[in-house]
Amino acid sequence: MKLKRVVVTGLGALTPIGNTVPEFWDGLLKGVSGAAPITRFDASQFKTKFACEVKNYDSKDHFDRKEVRKYDLFTQYAMVSTEEAIKDAGVNLEKIDPDRFGVIWGSGIGGLETFLHEVSAYAKSDGPPRFSPFFIPKMIADIAAGHISIKYGLRGPNFTTTSACASAANALVDSYNLIRLGKADMFISGGSEAAINEAGVGGFSAMHAISVRNDDPKTASRPFDKDRDGFVLGEGAGTIIFEELEHALKRGAKIYAEVVGGGLSADAYHMTSPHPEGLGAMNVMRYALEDNGHKPEEVDHINTHGTSTPLGDIAEPKAIIGLFGEHAYNISINSTKSMTGHLLGAAGAAEAIAALLAVQNDIVPPTINHFTDDPEIDNKLDFTFHKAKERKVNLALSNTFGFGGHNACVAFKKFTQ
């Protein structure tokens, strides 16, 4: 069968450096750090006392009191970014076939805040156990996709991908493939996460996964820097509207870019560490390019996973050199996590938006907070340190990797009919 072409027609974002897509993009280009002392709870006794929180967010600005009772914060974030994306895509729901419009959403953890609150209340209680009737429906990771479909009346394929930090990118790849196969016309896809609480910070701290640079939070996320000491925990959501090309053209939709590849692979190596030679990362980029017969030398930009962790930041550049050879040095590489922190299950969506906008605008956002070259990393690569770079970006990849060895890569290309 002839596969359908897939394009992007709408974007929405709620991030630590901007609560809309224009704000997010402006923050990226200016090299703004979203890291600051934690305000969500008293972190004074924790080893890590800072994170990349969403700023100036008030649920009352978006939901009535009855709705808030039903939504964990990760679901709220999903609903807010999706509302922006639907408006951006110019979707008239009365003229769209709801049976052909689906939702595939990613979240690595789901309602951690709800779980923490309910179990803590039970542990402190002396009487009979009392739990909210919303406890389970608020906590389960699939519920954001469910609420989005209910709000907009969408009856197409609907599910959630959970592959740790690759969750949102996994959702994008699944959406792309189902449209290519003719199973749907449109998807709301992306991911959300809200894990900045005692359990989230404490858990990642116990693993020694997050930075302890409490004296200087804004420079704590240091991808590819010799003195990196872990990622900075972030939160938020990103929504991307994927649409079959002819469907988009018929309704006169604006098109950001074409989706031309989606790769999935596993490291099959370790619970939390990447394959030391980046084997899974190399495979997933190759798979994404093979979808439409693109060659490695066509790639102009890679938004890397680039977490600012000791091992991950060595393995990914190795994978890039291993796949692209000499062309690797012509690719503008960056890590937007240097600014947003690590949005966990939402990272793949926020970073895909950054890659899409790089394709649309021919600008690669910077990797900030680079101070010292790491001798274990090939620093002849163009990591786009310090400042955004204007250059032709025809084809871009967005890499996302998760605990358990899950890898996902999405390829975007300038749209031409």
> Half-sphere exposure of 216 toward its Cβ, with a 13 Å CA cutoff?
7
Cβ atoms of 184 and 157 within 8 Å: the answer is: yes
Annotation marks residue 342 as catalytic? yes
Q: Which residues have a Cβ under 8 Å from the Cβ of 202 and sit 6 or more positions away? A: 46
Cβ atoms of 409 and 302 within 8 Å: the answer is: no
For residues 88 and 94, give the distance between their C-alpha atoms in angstroms, rounded to a whole number.
Answer: 16
How many helices (DSSP H) and strands (DSSP E) are in the chain? Answer: 13, 14
CA 295, chain centre distance (Å):
25
Which whole-number Å values give the CA distances from 1 to 7, 181, 209, 234, 337, in the listed order? 19, 8, 45, 42, 39
In this structure, the chain runs to a length of 417
Annotation marks residue 370 as catalytic? no
Cβ atoms of 77 and 194 within 8 Å: the answer is: yes
Question: Among the options 117, 275, 342, 370, which is catalytic?
Answer: 342
Cβ atoms of 348 and 165 within 8 Å: the answer is: yes
Greatest alpha-carbon span in the chain: 68
Beta-strand ranges (E) seen in 324-405 are 332-334, 363-364, 389-390, 395-402
φ, ψ of residue 268 to 5 degrees: the values are 50, 45
Annotation marks residue 409 as catalytic? no
The secondary structure of 4-50 as a DSSP string is: PPEEEEEEEEEBTTBSSHHHHHHHHHHT----EE--SS--TTSS--E
Cβ atoms of 382 and 258 within 8 Å: the answer is: no
Question: Among the options 52, 117, 147, 165, which is catalytic?
Answer: 165
Beta-strand ranges (E) seen in 166-312 are 186-193, 236-244, 257-266, 301-303
Question: Among the options 117, 147, 305, 406, which is catalytic?
Answer: 305
Return the active site residues: 165, 305, 342
